[in-house]
Amino acid sequence: MMPPEHESSSSISGSPVGILVTNRIENTSIHADPPISASNNVSPCLDEENPIMPDQHQQSSQARFSVLCKSLRPVTLKFEDVAYTVKLQTNKGTCFSSSEPKPTRSVLNGVSGIVRPGELLAMLGPSGSGKTTLLTALGGRLPGKVSGTITYNGQPFSSSMKRKTGFVSQDDVLYPHLTVLETLTFAALLKLPNKLTTEEKIEQVELVIVELGLTRCRNNVVGGPLFRGVSGGERKRVCIGQEMLVNPSLLLLDEPTSGLDSTTAQRILATLRGLARGGRTVITTIHQPSSKLYRMFDKVVVLSDGYPIYSGSAGRVMEYFGSIGFVPGFNFVNPADFLLDLANGVTPDAKQDDQQEFHGRADHRDDQNSIKQPLISSYRKNLYPALKDEIRRSCGTPVRSSRSSTENQWTTGWWMQFKVLLRRGLKERKHESYSGLRIFQVMTVSILSGLLWWHSDTSHIQDQVGLLFFFSIFWGFFPLFNAIFAFPQERPMLIKERSSGMYRLSSYYFARMVGDLPMELVLPTIFVTITYWMGGLKPSLITFILTLLIVLFNVLVSQGLGLALGAILMEVKQATTLASVTMLVFLLAGGYYIQHIPAFIAWLKYISFSHYCYKLLVGVQYSGTEDYECELGAHCKVLDFPAIEYLGIDNKGWDVFALAVMLVGYRLLAYVALRLGQPH
């Protein structure tokens, strides 16, 4: 069997990004076609202080890309004895916490490898073998403790490395309502450094679109589970494009070809190989590559139940397994199939009938283990010592970076991030915020309540007070339940973008707050304007404006509570349940339904923003000197009306203060909860 050949050219050379990457080759010590022998491939580590610089000629011919070229700093990634254990969730102790320690499961065991700039490494293994976990660990995104050592040019993972790393996850997290062009443009504006002008950033987007073959669908919306957008392959390419924009030195991809046809898969891998040849370090997990795809890999790591059974040159794999007695059968065509069979504990040369019989046997698990165990032992005996030696030899002295890891953590400034995130949020959520359904809902309720309270006057003071209470409750519920969805819905995107150090949490948070404001304030304004005048409340412009301002204040407070509940629980079902209980308590303790609440529980009204809003609304509607018709022909003081007397309409300053404290407090709580829930 011939070892897989390595192609000498990539399909992307010739395209603009191809030019960019192939030019990198000429300027580096990396070969256009790196030798597949790991031992021959030891190159010195390149650090931040020694970026590969294009020569003068290329600089002038590619002035447009100069900033991007300079930012490329090759990364040698080494991982040694990487192990990871997870605590398993159990059903026990859901009501009463169990004192028993949670069972643990070892997901990765002593995985080692080295990938240099210019190389494309593939991780192979059956489903559940630990590929994604290893990739996530190498991307510095795995929560909890990863044992072993992972270094990038001899350094541990840092925020500067984070910015040089592109990570494409298996689940394509994208905003469904943005077009392909918008998605990439917003990513470019947020990710590319300030020293590039907006035009240059957009130019870079155009290059990536051409490179990834997205020209045809550039103006199509991405789409989501509820409505169709671009195809699965195009989605995947958009995700890769987002990472390619920043010209990452280290590119990690989780199953970039899953669900794609073989031609598209091949094109994607050719692009990745081209990117690698441009001086990047590219690592991908892959499920079942064809032999054609397999030939594009320089190195492979094969995992079986979290244990490595091979780590090294892709071209030497057959030679190695042959040397330990695993020779492919007569129908051998694809090294990847051979490797997957071995990783599954299945002998590759077994005939179809034997396989069926084999799987049907009750003790086939033991048989599988009896194949896996020698493979794991053989790896430790035959491959590991040489690999360890290679890892140690290559770049033994850690490269010192003169910059601190926190310095220059962000590529763009706070204000730029805020502006871009605000624009993106407005575009993405315009369908939601300005949805006809929401407007219809508010208009219907306002007209209906205007008709129900049609021209009420102080002779029906009970009704009027009821209308004011309705204002406070409706505009307590509505924004609260809308706001609850904000953070749980955006969580995957927030985690993805924050993990790559795209923007500050504060700029995202403020952009979200400000972006939601227009519609949050327009709808109650329409409502109050219709209902106030139809309902026959005091015909005074000042009173109307004050009423409107109080309702808007209430909306902002209620929205803040919704955001806080969403951010704390990060789960819509739990948050809506808690919100409905809270609002029910506020409704009952507000002072309208019950006026003789027992003293031991009367304090509840002080934590209810609806209570303060209701009090203020009544306070601006009626003055202490006003009368109302309490009996036929008899007039009483408004302040003596039982509901108002119980409420007490003095101390408006305190009510405003209490609402202001809640306005700030809830939002602060939401921010802190978001910050604590963020990957570090």
Ligand X SMILES: Nc1ncnc2c1ncn2[C@@H]1O[C@H](COP(=O)(O)OP(=O)(O)OP(=O)(O)O)[C@@H](O)[C@H]1O
CB of 505 to ligand X, least distance (A): 24
Of the pair 220, 258, the CB lying nearest ligand X is at 258
Q: Where do we find the tokens 């997957």?
A: 340
In eight-state DSSP terms, residue 106 is E
Q: Are strands 281-285 and 120-124 parallel, antiparallel or unpaired?
A: parallel
d(CA 324, CA 316): 13
Residue 607 CB, shortest distance to ligand X, in Å, is 37
| Tokens of residue 519, six digits | 């519609």
> Both tokens of residue 524?
């109650």
Q: Is 256 in the site for ligand X (CB under 6 A)?
A: no
Q: Does 130 bind ligand X (CB under 6 A)?
A: yes
Residues 288-317, interacting with ligand X (CB under 6 A) = none
Position 131 contacts ligand X (CB under 6 A): yes
Q: Which is nearer to ligand X, 122 or 513 (CB)?
A: 122
- Contact pick of 13, 15, 58, 129 for ligand X (by CB under 6 A): 129
Residue 59 vs residues 18, 65, 343: alpha-carbon distances, Å: 16, 8, 47
* Binding pattern for the stretch 438-477 against ligand X, x by CB under 6 A and - elsewhere: ----------------------------------------
Of 301, 337, 357, 279, the closest CA to residue 119 belongs to 279
| Alpha carbon distances (Å) from 101 to 108, 143, 586 | 21, 19, 41
Nearer to ligand X, 86 or 350 (CB): 86
Q: Using the rule CB under 6 A, is 610 a contact of ligand X?
A: no
Binders of ligand X among residues 36 to 75 (CB under 6 A) are none
Cβ atoms of residues 468 and 621 within 8 Å: yes
Instruction: Please say which residue, 15 or 129, places its beta carbon nearer to ligand X.
Output: 129
* Closest distance to ligand X from the beta carbon of 144 (Å): 8
CB of 142 to ligand X, least distance (A): 9
The CA-atom distances, in angstroms, between 457 and each of 71, 324, 395, 537, 641 are 71, 95, 86, 7, 14
322 binds ligand X (CB under 6 A): no
As measured in angstroms, the least distance from the Cβ of 519 to ligand X is 38
Q: Can you tell me the distance from the alpha carbon of 550 to that of 233, in angstroms, rounded to the nearest whole number?
A: 51
Q: Residue 199 belongs to what H/E stretch?
A: helix 198-211
Give the range of 124-132, 160-168, 501-509, 554-562 binding ligand X by CB under 6 A: 124-132
By CB under 6 A, name the one of 8, 56, 94, 127 that touches ligand X.
Answer: 127
Local structure of 25: helix, strand or coil: helix
CB of 653 to ligand X, least distance (A): 52
Residue of the chain from 14, 93, 103, 128 that contacts ligand X (CB under 6 A):
128
From the list 121-129, 512-520, 571-579, 586-594, the region that binds ligand X by CB under 6 A is 121-129
Provide, rounded to whole angstroms, the least separation between the CB of residue 304 and ligand X: 10
Cα 166 off chain centre by: 13
Q: Name the segment binding ligand X (CB under 6 A); options: 125-133, 218-226, 482-490, 644-652.
A: 125-133
For ligand X, give the closer residue by CB, 108 or 564. 108
Cβ closer to ligand X: 97 or 127?
A: 127
The nearer residue to ligand X, 134 or 391, going by C-beta atoms, is: 134
| Residue 125 touching ligand X (CB under 6 A) | yes
CB of 134 to ligand X, least distance (A): 7
Query: Does residue number 531 form part of the binding site for ligand X (CB under 6 A)?
Result: no
Minimal CA–CA distance to 544: which of 447, 611, 471, 638?
471
**242 phi and psi, to 5 degrees?**
-60, -35
- Count CB-CB contacts under 10 A for residue 200: 17
Segment contacting ligand X by CB under 6 A, of 128-136, 206-214, 387-395, 416-424 = 128-136
One symbol per residue from 81 to 110: x for binding ligand X (CB under 6 A), - otherwise; what is it? -----x-x----------------x-x---
Of 28 and 284, which has the nearer Cβ to ligand X?
284
Q: How far is CA 447 from CA 215, 418, 520, in A?
A: 48, 38, 19
Helix (H) or strand (E) holding 613: helix 609-621
* 259 lies in the site for ligand X, by CB under 6 A: no
What is residue 303's three-state secondary structure? strand
> Which 503-522 positions form the footprint of ligand X (CB under 6 A)?
none
Interacting residue with ligand X among 13, 22, 23, 132 (CB under 6 A)? 132
3-state SS, 214-243, equals CHHHCCCECCCCCCCCCCHHHHHHHHHHHH
The least CB distance from residue 171 to ligand X, in Å, is 10
**DSSP-based three-state secondary structure for 102:** coil
Q: Kindly state whether residue 133 participates in binding ligand X, applying the rule CB under 6 A.
A: yes
What is the smallest separation between the CB atom of 273 and ligand X, expressed in angstroms?
21
Nearer to ligand X, 102 or 351 (CB): 102
Q: Are 160 and 405 in contact (CB under 8 A)?
A: yes
Q: Residue 336 or residue 465: which is nearer to ligand X going by CB?
A: 336
To 10 degrees, the CA torsion angle through 65, 138, 677, 569?
Answer: 110
Q: Report DSSP letters for 445-478, one per residue.
A: HHHHHHHHTTT--GGGHHHHHHHHHHHHHHHHHH
Q: Measuring CA to CA, which residue among 80, 63, 87, 69 is closest to residue 115?
A: 80
The answer for residues whose C-beta is within 8 angstroms of residue 554's C-beta and 6 or more apart is: 472, 475, 476, 609, 610, 613, 659
Amino acid identity, residue 490? E
Pairing of strands 250-254, 165-168: parallel
Min dist CB 129 to ligand X, Å, is 4
Shortest Å distance, C-beta 347 to ligand X: 21
Please give the size of the binding site for ligand X, defined by CB under 6 A.
12
Site string for ligand X, 552-581 (x = CB under 6 A): ------------------------------
Cα distances from 416 to residues 203, 494, 498, in angstroms, run 18, 17, 16
Q: How far is the CB of 283 from ligand X (least distance, A)?
A: 13
Q: Shortest gap between Cβ of 301 and ligand X (angstroms)? A: 11
Q: Which residues bind to ligand X, rule: CB under 6 A?
A: 86, 88, 105, 107, 125, 127-133
